[in-house]
Amino acid sequence: MDINKDAIKNCILDKLNYHFGVQAIDATPDQYYRACVMIINEILITRQRKFMTDIRKTEAKTVSYLCMEFLLGRSLKSSLYNLGLLDPFDAAINELGYTLEEIFDMEPDAGLGNGGLGRLAACFMESAATLGYSMTGYSILYEYGIFKQQLLNGWQIELPDPWLPGGEVWLNPRPDEACTVKFGGHVKEEWNDYCLQIDYKDFTPVLAIPYDIIISGYQKGRVSLLRLWKATSSEFDLQLFHQGDYLKADEKRTQAEMISKILYPPDHHHEGKRLRLKQQYFLVSASIQDIVRKHLVQYKTLKNFSEKNAIHINETHPALAIPELMRIFLDDYCYDWDEAWNIITNTFSFTNHTIMREALEVWPEELLANLLPRIYHIIKEIQKRYQEALCNKYHFTDEQLKALAIIHNGQIHMANMCLHACHTINGVSKIHSSILQKNVFRNYSALHPEKFYNITNGFNYRRWLCQANPKMCQFISECIGDGFHTDPMQLQRMVMLQDDLAVLNKIAEIKRENKIRLADYIYSATKIKVDINSIFDVQVKRLHEYKRQLLNVMHILYLYDHYLQHSSEELPPRTFLFAAKAAPSYSMAKRIIHLICCLADEINSNPSVNDKLKIIYLEDYRVTLAELLMPAAEISEQISLAGTEASGTGNMKLMINGAITVGTLDGANIEIKEAVGEDNILLFGLRNEEVQLLRKVGYFPSIYLSNPAVRNIIERLNSNIHGESFHDIASYLIGSSDGIADPYMVLADFDSYCHIQKEAARRYSEPILWNKMSLRNIASAGRFAADRAIKEYAEKIWHIKTV
């Protein structure tokens, strides 16, 4: 089909006519949006079928990426972009009386993830498709994604996010490939002539129905498949219904559908444990059944399973995939243990994404035994054989055994199961991988150092630069050609132009236009006017103590005080931009949001400073908001305590849009420093080794009260900010008398942070210097492309080739 403007226009009119029963003139923007998606989806289905044929013909190995989260955001623009159809669609839609932007705005964000981990998974899907690897993502079709955040008097409130009404047009239901996941019940083991017969009775069946989203690669016509499972049940009790007990009659279905009802927030460890475990097993059981079924259709045997399948466990949430695949080999195909285990250990790999202690997942033995009796048996057997091997081979002490145990103290340790069963384990930045080896997983890495790798995270720069910042992308193409669209390292060529004033001015001009676009949004969302000439200083990410939004607040309080006393001082004006969601049960994070909002109210309404300082807190941080923020940012705040941020990807997205990082030597900041050079990044704060040392000798923050600036700020928190006291945060920062002090050492880095912020202001006052730094950041961001990360996974971990 020749896809030109007129053909597209006709297709749209057809869809409006036959699907919605309306004429062009009566159609709503939402109907136009749906019509466009239907057309794109048809193109994608064709490509998917062709790509599948190639995969089958070449017998290519496939990677299945299991993850509880895929934070997709919107898909229409990026699909059109990757298919090269933006221009003809734009022309067609214009003729029909709308702009493409208006149509894009009809699409809800698919918020099926919490933050960085879910966004990474989404970026990886696009890269794998672009490069031509065979990749299937597996997750859950949550009816409600991450909550919608509203700020009410400076407090976060959470609202449900029903994304399906606008998002479901992307879904291709495949009820023919549905499968059953079994919960509860009892297991009886019986030997027949040649294998152990498992009799599994009284279980509750849940139906898993797959819905596919097809993700387009850039050009070349290849795609990735994202298969999302919806939970339901076909059991309906007609007897109860006839008796008039309508609720009860449909109870089984309601119970089953609860599993795919809602994305769970992280940092949440009390309520809903059982449902969360159900979600995890539901995802892995359906996915593993699907992978095995597809394999058998093509190869008729499971002997070559690990040659044709790599299965990736993204964070420990899908770790039950390991015993689930064992279960299928043992119970359904009568494999003996060693043969099955051999296949397992050649199939699975595992990425760890955080060293936050509380994120190392454990499940109560009793809960697992009760909910998944057969899986529990298998985990016990894995544990038994593992312990025997450790004792016989390494003569481990009890202490060492305990550290590696999969089951210990009535708890099942998911990470330890992954370490034991996976052939490769990786961290997501150099420092994070090294901390995993030296600290978090040191006992295991001493046994098997060869299993450990680093693969630094990446991001989809076609989305975060080319689509989010089209003017910059266009300008870069004019400078160095458009080869960088598929070869990100070509961005480096921009460095040749770093002394060309016209180029530097153009970069500044594009930044200014993006700032105006953001300022317009800020005005429409908050009715606050921000100064386009002020520095746009941006900290956007999840709200967490370790990310230290509080350090940013301390510096703002410092500046505020400074301006109140020396109002004539010549520092460039600044706009501090925040956006972040807090986990609903995380009260400290919510308190910090409230502090930022109170401070914003006070400063923004104080005429003696508000021409110099403004604070904006934008509600509901999500992919679509990030796409508006990143291109307008000038300072990128990446200020976690060294040794706490695994990698970060927000830092990379901001860098490629020309923002200068103010950051600690943490996560991927360290590699950003290596890429741009020390002169083009503003580093401050304790190094990881210094943090560890300080921990050892003891962190006593009250010593920092000798600094008058710190004293002032603490006093201010204690007394009042916009009429409220933040006594609790003050005592958190300086440590209360019973010795509990801020574990993220905000005060220890405060002085160093203020110095580097002063340096940032100084450099901003020299536009040529600043714009040159900006250019060098853009030019050096190529190595953080997800394309690079995916190639490394493909070569070092999955051992897959492009189709």
Ligand X SMILES: *Cc1c(COP(=O)(O)O)cnc(C)c1O
Nearer to ligand X, 77 or 653 (CB): 653
Distance of CA 265 to CAs 121, 315, 317, Å? Answer: 17, 15, 13
Q: How far is the CB of 624 from ligand X (least distance, A)?
A: 8
Could you tell me which of 756, 155, 779, 786 has the C-alpha nearest to residue 496? 779
Q: How far is the CB of 669 from ligand X (least distance, A)?
A: 11
SS3 697: helix
Q: From the CA atom positions of the chain, what is the Rg in Å?
A: 27
Active site residue 547: yes
Say if residues 203 and 182 touch (Cβ distance below 8 Å): yes
Nearer to ligand X, 575 or 638 (CB): 638
Catalytic residue among 62, 575, 649, 661, which? 649
Nearer to ligand X, 485 or 622 (CB): 622
Q: Which two tokens stand for residue 133?
A: 């690897």
CB neighbours of 713 closer than 8 A, spacing ≥ 6? 554, 557, 558, 561
> Cβ–Cβ contacts within 10 Å for residue 606, how many?
14
State the residue number with the nearest CB to ligand X: 650
Q: Which residues pair with 214 in a beta bridge?
A: 225
Distance of CA 280 to CAs 277, 286, 402, Å? Answer: 5, 10, 25
Active site residue 353: yes
Q: Which two tokens stand for residue 279?
A: 């979600």
Q: How far is the CB of 656 from ligand X (least distance, A)?
A: 12
Distance of CA 170 to CAs 42, 125, 141, Å? Answer: 10, 16, 12
Q: How far is the CB of 115 from ligand X (least distance, A)?
A: 4
Nearer to ligand X, 618 or 779 (CB): 618
Q: How far is the CB of 653 from ligand X (least distance, A)?
A: 6
Active site residue 622: no
Residues that bind ligand X (CB under 6 A): 115-116, 119, 541-542, 621-623, 626, 648-650, 653
Say if residues 374 and 183 touch (Cβ distance below 8 Å): no
Could you tell me which of 746, 626, 760, 752 has the C-alpha nearest to residue 681? 760
Q: How far is the CB of 117 from ligand X (least distance, A)?
A: 8
Range 364-399 burial, b when 16+ CB lie within 10 A, else e: ebeebbebbbbbbbbbbebbeebbeebeeeeebeee
Nearer to ligand X, 636 or 688 (CB): 636
Active site residue 727: no
Could you tell me which of 114, 92, 125, 124 has the C-alpha nearest to residue 15? 92
Catalytic residue among 374, 506, 542, 772, which? 542
Nearer to ligand X, 328 or 468 (CB): 468
Q: How far is the CB of 644 from ligand X (least distance, A)?
A: 11
Q: Which two tokens stand for residue 648?
A: 């970060």
What CA–CA distance (Å, rounded) separates 564 from 608? Answer: 7
Nearer to ligand X, 416 or 467 (CB): 467
What CA–CA distance (Å, rounded) separates 477 from 254? Answer: 53
Nearer to ligand X, 55 or 632 (CB): 632
Could you tell me which of 105, 397, 156 has the C-alpha nearest to residue 265? 156
Q: How far is the CB of 70 from ligand X (least distance, A)?
A: 12
DSSP-derived secondary structure for 336-398: -HHHHHHHHHTTEEEE-----GGGS-EEEHHHHHHH-HHHHHHHHHHHHHHHHHHHHHH---H
Q: Known catalytic residues?
A: 353, 541-542, 547, 649, 653
